[in-house]
């Protein structure tokens, strides 16, 4: 392919990914509210459109037209840039993820690679950029001159110190088996060797737990735990600035779900009679449902419990897992 064709293709890829995942973030909020409601014997949004399906649009209009308030004593540049960090890092992290297998456009021979860039440090890049995303709550919380925001920011640091170790260590074991950091190589490895989940169940569970902490989802959503710190770092945010945080959170959920399905659940290889593209969508949907399900069922943990869990339980487990994997590989 020519140089300019490559650039245009990449730009189209970027735009498609941006649009699809921004829309998915909105739709996921709808499903989250519905699933949570059904699990709590409620109906959830019902009034806007049939079965409340247009609630997403109503929320979007509300967020866009809401007054944009920057607190008087806030550190304004940092306050303003924090939500951008949240959304941007979430989407940058997606640039190394292959979302679907390569496919041909209908009525042409053009092969589409549904990955923005297959870099050789793929998963390292994704995990690193997602971790940078934690700067958003940290900076936003510290810049908004509010007690609750400051507490939220402090909890961000605790969370970052805790889950980061586990994410890295839990992914090392499967990477040792594959011998490559590229997510496409990891996916292709599972085509011949079967799902990594069966050989690395402990790593899968560790990664899921760390992923929940990374996306601030419920068992570990200390940063914005309403009952304790109002909304934590997001207390002073309103309108679209808050909306960017939300989009970032939901985009991160998708990133974690895609990584989990690519690394552990066989990725986009065909699954029995199900073709690969559909298989990965099913896997990601199940993982996203798990996110919502866990939110409905489980209570929060305290910050000290999260640290205890990550450093005293999960990290030793991850290290032992790596050791055993290494011994088996030798």
Partner 1 sequence: MDLKNYNNRNISNDYIYMQVEDTPTTWQDKFKRVVKRTFKGELFVGLWVVFREMLKFDIHTVQYPMEKLPISPRFRGLHEIKRLLESGNQACIGCGLCEKICISNCIEIHTKYGSKGRKVVRSWTLNLGRCIYCGYCAEVCPELAITHGQEYEVASEQRASFIGMADMVTPMDIFKAGKQKEFQGFGAVSPNADENIKKTPLAY
DSSP 2-22: -HHHHHHHHHHHHHHHHHHHH
Report the residue number, 112 or 294, with the smaller CB distance to partner 1: 294
- Non-local CB neighbours of 330 within 8 Å, separated by 6+ positions: none
- The residues pairing with 112 across neighbouring beta strands, listed in sequence order, are 103
Rounded to a whole number of angstroms, the minimum distance from the CB of residue 298 to partner 1 is: 6
Report the residue number, 53 or 296, with the smaller CB distance to partner 1: 296
Instruction: Convert residues 152-191 into a mask of x (bound to partner 1 by CB under 8 A) and - (unbound).
Output: ----------------------------------------
Which residue among 11, 39, 61, 320 contacts partner 1 (CB under 8 A)?
39
Report the residue number, 36 or 100, with the smaller CB distance to partner 1: 36
Which residue among 296, 307, 319, 322 contacts partner 1 (CB under 8 A)?
296
Here the tokens at position 187 are 């996916």
Query: Contact between 40 and partner 1 (CB under 8 A)?
Result: yes
In Å, how far are 253, 257, 260, 288 from 211, measured between CA atoms? 8, 9, 9, 12
Only segment of 16-24, 177-185, 242-250, 295-303 that touches partner 1 (CB under 8 A): 295-303
- Non-local CB neighbours of 130 within 8 Å, separated by 6+ positions: 89, 90, 93, 214, 252, 255, 256
Instruction: Convert residues 306-325 into a mask of x (bound to partner 1 by CB under 8 A) and - (unbound).
Output: -------x------------
Only segment of 99-107, 128-136, 226-234, 292-300 that touches partner 1 (CB under 8 A): 292-300
Here the tokens at position 15 are 């735009």
Block residue for tokens 């890092």: 89
Rounded to a whole number of angstroms, the minimum distance from the CB of residue 36 to partner 1 is: 9
Which residues contact partner 1 (rule: CB under 8 A)? 35, 38-43, 46, 293-294, 296-298, 313
């Amino acid at each position: 392919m020519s140089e300019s064709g490559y650039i245009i293709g990449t730009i189209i890829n970027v735009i498609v990914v941006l649009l699809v995942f921004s829309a998915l973030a909105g739709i996921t909020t709808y499903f989250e509210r519905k699933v949570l409601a059904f699990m709590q014997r409620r109906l959830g949004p019902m009034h806007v459109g049939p079965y409340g399906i247009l609630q997403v649009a109503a929320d979007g209009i509300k967020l866009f037209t809401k007054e944009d308030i920057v607190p008087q004593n806030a550190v304004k540049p940092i306050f303003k840039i924090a939500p951008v960090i949240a959304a941007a890092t979430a989407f940058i992290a997606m640039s190394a993820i292959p979302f679907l297998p390569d496919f041909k456009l209908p009525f042409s021979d053009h092969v589409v690679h549904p990955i923005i860039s297959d870099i050789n440090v793929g998963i390292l890049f994704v995990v690193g950029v997602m971790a940078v995303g934690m700067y958003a709550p940290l900076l936003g919380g510290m810049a908004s001159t509010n007690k609750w925001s400051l507490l939220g920011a402090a909890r961000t640091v605790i969370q970052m110190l805790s889950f980061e170790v586990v994410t890295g260590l839990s992914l090392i074991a499967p990477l040792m088996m594959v011998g490559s950091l590229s997510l496409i190589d990891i996916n292709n490895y599972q085509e011949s060797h079967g799902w990594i989940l069966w050989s690395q169940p402990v790593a899968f569970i560790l990664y899921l737990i760390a992923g929940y902490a990374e996306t601030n989802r419920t068992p570990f959503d200390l940063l914005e735990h309403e009952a304790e710190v109002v909304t934590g770092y997001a207390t002073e945010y309103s309108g679209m600035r808050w909306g960017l945080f939300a989009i970032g959170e939901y985009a991160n959920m998708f990133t974690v779900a895609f990584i989990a399905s690519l690394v552990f659940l066989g990725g986009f290889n065909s699954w029995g009679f199900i073709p690969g593209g559909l298989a990965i969508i099913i896997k990601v949907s199940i993982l996203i449902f798990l996110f919502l399900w866990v939110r409905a069922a489980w209570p929060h943990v305290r910050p000290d419990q999260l640290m205890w869990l990550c450093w005293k339980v999960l990290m030793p487990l991850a290290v032992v897992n790596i050791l055993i994997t290494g011994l088996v590989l030798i």
